A = this chain, B = another copy of it.
């Protein structure tokens, strides 16, 4: 194999109760990337379509992630990377991590798969750190593993693969406004009440149980965030109206995707997910903000090969 073209999916981090910990992988939105072996060693970004991102390897998340795995493996070849962005940077559905995880996943294929998913996630985090200023895995992990993931700890990294109930869909609204990650972070409280924290970990526990038992009612009841959402939702125009419309249309739950501005919902079945999408459009159609709405089955495979040479 000399070259492969991959689909690197968008992902949703936090998932209401699971701030900094939970994430899941989408199927209908994602970037495409071509990763090609070169005789010359090193990593070069040769093409970027669809977004204004740096070509300099050490300033590009895909480049930095690629360097991490290439430096570890030290093969007798280099790679060049073409990035076709469909996930808008700053949308809150893991744009930077799709580039980072796509690069490491594809290079691992070119290397003959020496690394497991945990190791690939760790390489991907190196790229993610360029974008967000800190190493995070809550978007990288669901891209690499697929389905629902739980980042148990970062140091040493331990990602837990969770099961995906068979009828699980997501509907996502992306209002095209900018939420600065620095602002989304600054708005978080440093301390939280023990009582609220207890409710949050009860919900994480019951959410995980609901995934294993395919108990959609329990999943729905667990999709609550009393800690982060009350603060960050202020940064997202019409958040309350969108969330209410999603729930009224039958979504299992709704909340902020990553640090926003995208708003996600989880739904039981495609039909319901489409109904939720219609309800969201009804809220946003007469607002002065451009938006995208996505309906997606949960992607249990993660990154996929489109073709190879």
- Which residues does A use to contact B, with CB under 8 Å? 17-22, 150-153, 158, 160, 162, 188-194, 197-209, 212, 218, 221-222, 227
- A159's closest neighbor in chain B, by CB? B206
B203 near A19 with CB under 8 A, answer no
In the assembled complex, the CB of A236 is this many whole angstroms from the nearest CB of chain B, namely: 20
A192 near B197 with CB under 8 A, answer yes
With A150-B206, A212-B212, A218-B160 as given contacts, are A188 and B192 in contact (CB-CB < 8 Å)? no
Number of copies: 2
In the assembled complex, the CB of A191 is this many whole angstroms from the nearest CB of chain B, namely: 4
Query: A207 vs B205: C-alpha distance in the bound complex, in angstroms?
Result: 8
Query: A204 vs B202: C-alpha distance in the bound complex, in angstroms?
Result: 8
Q: Which of A191, A201, A204, A209 counts the most chain B CB atoms within 10 A?
A: A201
B158 near A221 with CB under 8 A, answer yes
Query: A88 vs B56: C-alpha distance in the bound complex, in angstroms?
Result: 69
| Residues from chain B with Cβ under 8 Å of A158 in the complex | 206, 221
Query: A141 vs B188: C-alpha distance in the bound complex, in angstroms?
Result: 34
Q: List 8 A-B pairs, Cβ < 8 Å.
A: A152-B203, A189-B194, A191-B193, A192-B197, A194-B227, A204-B205, A205-B208, A208-B212
With A194-B191, A212-B212, A227-B194 as given contacts, are A205 and B20 in contact (CB-CB < 8 Å)? no
In the assembled complex, the CB of A121 is this many whole angstroms from the nearest CB of chain B, namely: 15
Query: A151 vs B151: C-alpha distance in the bound complex, in angstroms?
Result: 23
| Residues from chain B with Cβ under 8 Å of A22 in the complex | 205
With A209-B160, A212-B212 as given contacts, are A21 and B194 in contact (CB-CB < 8 Å)? no
| Residues from chain B with Cβ under 8 Å of A193 in the complex | 190-192
| Residues from chain B with Cβ under 8 Å of A207 in the complex | 205
In the assembled complex, the CB of A194 is this many whole angstroms from the nearest CB of chain B, namely: 5
| Residues from chain B with Cβ under 8 Å of A19 in the complex | 198, 201
For the A-B complex with A150-B202, A152-B202, A191-B192 known, give 15 more contacts whose Cβ atoms are closer than 8 Å.
A19-B198, A21-B201, A150-B206, A150-B209, A151-B202, A152-B203, A152-B205, A152-B206, A160-B218, A188-B194, A190-B193, A192-B193, A192-B197, A197-B197, A205-B207
